[in-house]
Amino acid sequence: MNRPFSFMIDLPVRNDWANVDLLRTSILSCFTATFHDMDGCHSLAMVAGELLENAIKYGDWRDGERALRLRVWGDAAWAKVQVDSPVRPDSASLGDLKDAIAWLDSYPSPEDAYRARLLAVAARPLAEGGGKLGIARIAYEGNCKLQAEVKGDLLSVTSHMTF
């Protein structure tokens, strides 16, 4: 008898780089113990880790008491990963994130967007620096759709994956 299956993780997370690898490994371990799709487990852990990294890197940490929030939920067919972090609504990185997600949405698939970004980076002179691959790589490797929503000084970045 197959009963409906769902899962949910909802954790406050201290703003500490070491916690990224701890949570990435924990998520991978939990889902590897539950699912048969190892590629899906690795993708889910990667997406969670990368979104946590971005939140730490670009979050507004002037108030040292603030924490991240990690949510992972879904069922056997789909999963969402959401990371909430404090943000300055006028920050340039927030505008860059929204632009990157809109750019991703303009392509038929995350793979098409990632290839386009790789070609653009390869064509750019080395002196121009950074590749801006992060969000495109998350969408491609996680085969997910990304969304960003700001409420006041809280940014929620959510990925939606299907298995």
Q: Encoding tokens for residue 66?
A: 């603030």
Q: What is the pLDDT of residue 104?
A: 95
Nearest to residue 159, comparing CAs of 83, 91, 63? 83
Place of tokens 């929620």: 156
Identify the pLDDT of residue 8.
96
pLDDT score, position 65:
75
Given CATH 3.10.20.10, say whether it is the number of domain 6-162.
no
* pLDDT tens for each residue of 94-125: 999 999 999 999 999 999 999 999 998 888 77
Mean pLDDT by 10 residues, the chain (163 residues): 82 95 96 91 96 96 88 94 95 93 96 94 70 87 96 96 90
Express each pLDDT in 26-35 by its tens digit.
999 999 998 8
- Give the number of other Cβ atoms within 10 Å of residue 137's Cβ: 17
- Per DSSP, the three-state class of 129 is coil
Q: Give the count of beta carbons closer than 10 Å to the beta carbon of residue 122.
A: 8
pLDDT, residue 130, reads: 57
Report the C-alpha gap between 46 and 49 in whole angstroms: 5
